[in-house]
Structure 1
Amino acid sequence: MLAGAACQRVTEGSSGTSVSTSITPDAPLRETRWVLRQVGGQPIAGVATANQEPYLFISAAGTAEGLGGCNRFRGALKPATEDAELQFAPLQSTRMACPELVTEQAFAQALESTHAYRITGKLLLLYADAQRTGTPLAQLEAVPLP
């Protein structure tokens, strides 16, 4: 199970002492709806409705599912051997044509190339290398489940 660290905002009080004003825990990798915000370093253009937003959901059981913008996908995670490792088994997808196809293909490629992740607050960053360096393949934001 993933143990999340917490982000803490610290301000200096009038007496010069540090005062913690809030703690925002990192979102968990599993059982969170992750909405795609960037892929390949490019922001995702707004879609017509929230029902069409590209997203990823990883269940507690280790299955992955989501929406690329028009087509739904589903598959499993490969077993992780190290912390922060994340790899998807081949994901199966429906094959409908739609205006969001370019974004959908870039999202699918990012998921296929993912080997590691980092969660910072409400952001999930997917990386091609285990060292989690360089520009993330994709950036997703945790949003409440509908």
Structure 2
Amino acid sequence: MKFGPIHARQKSLFIRLERYLFLIIWTFTRRKIQEKGYIIYYGRRTSYGEMGELTNKFANFLLSNRFARGDRTALLLPNCPQYYIALFGTHKAGGCVVSLNPILKEPELEFYFKEVKPKAVVLLDALLPLVKKSCWQLVLRVRSNTHKLCRVLV
């Protein structure tokens, strides 16, 4: 049997189904093994239950700040628990995640912000000394130009 090309409408449906399936599996697993360790980061253990609560809080925070289905969250985070909280929370709020390398330079960040037009940007506070003032000015400039960015989270 030969199948034709997948149309954009079908791709959109597949992406939404994939996201919902992921959230269903995540919720089922979290409820089944709440107390088991999900992440151990620098000796601190975070359980599935704790992670579920934190992701729900993040999703509710986004939704309370005019975040709508299909909006984007840019994550300038290393591999840490906050990344997963923001990732799952954004998915729960119906948004899309754009992962950016936290050591990108200003021209690269400017390119990604212009292309992606995120509604929220999440940074790790430990990275603040590494981020130049010009990058903050860039974020604020993009915020004033697009009128779409609602929050910069640190």
The two structures share one fold, judged by TM-score above 0.5: no
TM-score scaled by structure 2? Answer: 0.25
Which of the two has greater strand per residue?
1
TM-score scaled by structure 1? Answer: 0.25
Which of the two has greater helix per residue?
2
